[in-house]
Structure 1
Amino acid sequence: MPWSRRGHGRIVNGNATTISEYPWNLSIQFLVRHECGASIISTTWAMSAGHCFYDDVTKMLLRAGSTTRESGGVVFNISRVVYHENFNSTSLDNDIVVVQPSEPFPLGPNIQPVALPADGYEAPAGLPVTATGWGLDQNFQRPEELLKVDLYVDQTSVCSKIFADILPVTDSMMCAGNIHKGVCFGDSGSPLVSGNMQVGIVSWGDEDCEYPLAMYTDVGYMRRWIRNITGV
């Protein structure tokens, strides 16, 4: 069973960071509890994983501009959610959603959109990338502050083989990881960035959260769809 279906998440063996370093980070909150991550892509749109939105969105909020996951910053209701038309909640193919807040994000030092790649961009194997998010750490503790973990992109064909018994790896996915480091339950929807450019969205992986690789929605592959829906 992939960990994307098992609830709240963690960054494994990462380091503390601040929202000013990653000002596009959002916490998706269900009944005020952190549920998933997301990223700001413009003043009026955010982006996350499709499987994060299985609950009643009227009970979900977006928290922006805070290093602390369940306090501070600015909180928004969600006014619109658009799933990819080919999103499959079983296979997690096309695992992407774009979301509109109830009012525009007030841009400032701690609230900024992330850059997006060109249409069809393919992150090369070996590219250093960073995942950021909130949730349980390797000791299953609940740190309140934003965490980051440094990873590397790997060849999708490698992940296709090692995850063959979990889920099929499709064209909408990319893989990244590092030894004894990674993402896990509830980091779903969080951004995977190269510098200030988002290349992936945390999607799914092995139940062992220290497994060296995990799967991400490929933002370059989804770039045209994102523009068609949001104009971004």
Structure 2
Amino acid sequence: MTQNPGISPQNPVAGGPCGLSRSRGRVVGGEWNSCGLSRSRGRVVGGLAAGPGRWPWAVSLQLRGRHRCGGTLVTPQWVLSAAHCFQGPGGLRAPLSEWRAVVGRLRLDHEQGQELSVAELIVHPRFRGVRGGHDLVLVRLRPRAALGRDVGTVCLPRAGQRPPFGRSCWISGWGHVAENVSLPAGAPLQEAALPLLSPPTCNCLYSHLRRRDLARPARPGMVCAGGARGGQGACQADSGGAVSCGGAPGGRWVQFGVLSFALGCGRPHGPALATGVGGAHGRWLRRHLPPAAFVPELGPPPDPEMELGVCYGETPPPGCGTSGGPPLPLPPPPRWPWGVSLRGGEGRRCGGALLGGGWVLTAASCFIGAQDPEAWEAELWGAEPESHAPFPGDPAPSNHTHSSPSPATGHTHSTPPPPLTPPI
């Protein structure tokens, strides 16, 4: 792995604006002059086959001729992907000479498109493993990709641009279509629409699984794609692909995440986790990429309430709730018809339980040094403090109880329990 020489006037990056796809973009002088527009609507798990030019920035990163990960063309020279695709615990998984980046190819067994060499990797300096976040790598191509009808660049978010959490965004890839089930030979790039989720909502969904090893997997700087139902999502070999959202000014598509890992493939309450490309990660990207790689203008700010109800739905379960979610009714005050409060002199207080036959069971220690029955009152819980009224329909109890010392030790005990007179 080598260091990035940087972008400078002596090392320019060719290409036009980012984020437009084939349906409305035009090729002018061999350069892509617009970005992010798409002509079709859509297997990734549970997804649909993508049409030609639908995702012109989709890249297949291949090791020794076989698809291993996805990636996104962010300039004609640079691909953004997941660091774990290239780097394992012991360093690089393979020499760079054994990797190829394939662009402009809808079906991987066809020969159209371009096969480009990998000249350089820039791994995010804080990457240590997928669970730790920062799963980003920039891949420099040699030669640069030739932009055209089926090859274009996606836009990255501008500084300060907030992800539209709660909106339906898109993932795409050539990964498995189910757990341990490869994409059939000859099948095209797959796509699926999934809600874009913030880390708190993502962690809330994972909390339904009640698994200690998956507690709060979404760290700051991550985004998620998925929901509670499952059935659609990323799978093996989709890592490195984009989580992209449309609707930016000019019809541009903006990438907000790089797929990193997930619990299985499209499982309920197991959204795919992706490394966000804003915030601190955006600052890292801006150090290595030219301004043309970022969306040229901001749209209206996203609605902060679009995520409400994603985790718990319309009616939160008892004992659960999320900040800003629907209000929960206050539970009724507890009614324990057997509960008794015992009050003695000098501020003594004890609790007790009403037994059959008018007896109260309590702790003997309550009466040590205070064994005069006339000094004690018994009040049923739920009664009005001043009137000592019983529950509706219940006869009124006596308010006296007593305890007697043990002849052998002189210590107070509660056998037999003290009676209430008259019995209830």
Same fold (TM over 0.5): yes
- In the TM superposition, what is the alpha-carbon distance from 1:124 to its structure 2 partner? 3.0
1:5 aligns with none
- In the TM superposition, what is the alpha-carbon distance from 1:70 to its structure 2 partner? 4.2
Q: Is the 8 A contact 1:131 1:193 kept in 2?
A: yes
Q: Which has the higher strand share?
A: 1
Q: 1:197 and 1:136 mapped to 2: Cα distance? A: 25
Shift in alpha-carbon separation, 1:142–1:176, aligned structure 2, 3 A:
closer
After superposition, what is the alpha-carbon deviation per residue over 1:156-201, rounded to whole angstroms, capped at 9, x for unaligned? 1132342662374222211121431110111000011102111111
- Size of the aligned set, in residue pairs, is 223
1:190 aligns with 241
Q: Is the 8 A contact 1:130 1:150 kept in 2?
A: yes
Structure with more contact order per residue of length (Cα contacts < 8 Å, sep ≥ 6): 1
Larger Rg: 2
1:115 corresponds to 2:155: yes
Q: Is the 8 A contact 1:19 1:25 kept in 2?
A: no
1:35 corresponds to 2:68: yes
1:60 aligns with 99
Alignment of 1:46-85 (within 5 A): 46-54=79-87, 55-56=93-94, 57-72=96-111, 73-85=113-125
**Correspondence for 1:175 among 224, 249, 265:** 224
1:159 corresponds to 2:208: no
Q: 2:49 and 2:130 mapped to 1: Cα distance? A: 33
Q: 2:198 and 2:139 mapped to 1: Cα distance? A: 30
2:29 aligns with none
Q: Is the 8 A contact 1:34 1:70 kept in 2?
A: no
SS at match of 2:213: coil
SS at match of 1:119: coil
- In the TM superposition, what is the alpha-carbon distance from 1:92 to its structure 2 partner? 3.9
Q: 1:126 and 1:11 mapped to 2: Cα distance? A: 20
Q: What is the Cα-based RMSD across aligned positions, in Å?
A: 1.9
Q: 2:162 and 2:109 mapped to 1: Cα distance? A: 34
1:22 aligns with 55
Compare 72-81 and 132-141 and name the one that shifted more.
132-141
SS at match of 1:129: strand
Q: 1:141 and 1:207 mapped to 2: Cα distance? A: 14
**What code does the residue aligned with 1:109 have?**
R
Alignment of 1:193-204 (within 5 A): 193-195=244-246, 196-204=253-261
- In the TM superposition, what is the alpha-carbon distance from 1:230 to its structure 2 partner? 2.5
Query: Is there any run of 5+ residues in structure 2 with no aligned partner, and where?
Result: 1-42, 88-92, 247-252, 294-424
1:142 aligns with 183
Q: Is the 8 A contact 1:19 1:146 kept in 2?
A: no
SS at match of 1:91: helix
- In the TM superposition, what is the alpha-carbon distance from 1:126 to its structure 2 partner? 1.2
After superposition, what is the alpha-carbon deviation per residue over 1:49-92, rounded to whole angstroms, capped at 9, x for unaligned? 11111321221110000101243211011001000111122534
**What code does the residue aligned with 2:213 have?**
D
Instruction: Determine what percentage of the aligned residue pairs are the same residue.
Output: 28
- In the TM superposition, what is the alpha-carbon distance from 1:122 to its structure 2 partner? 2.8
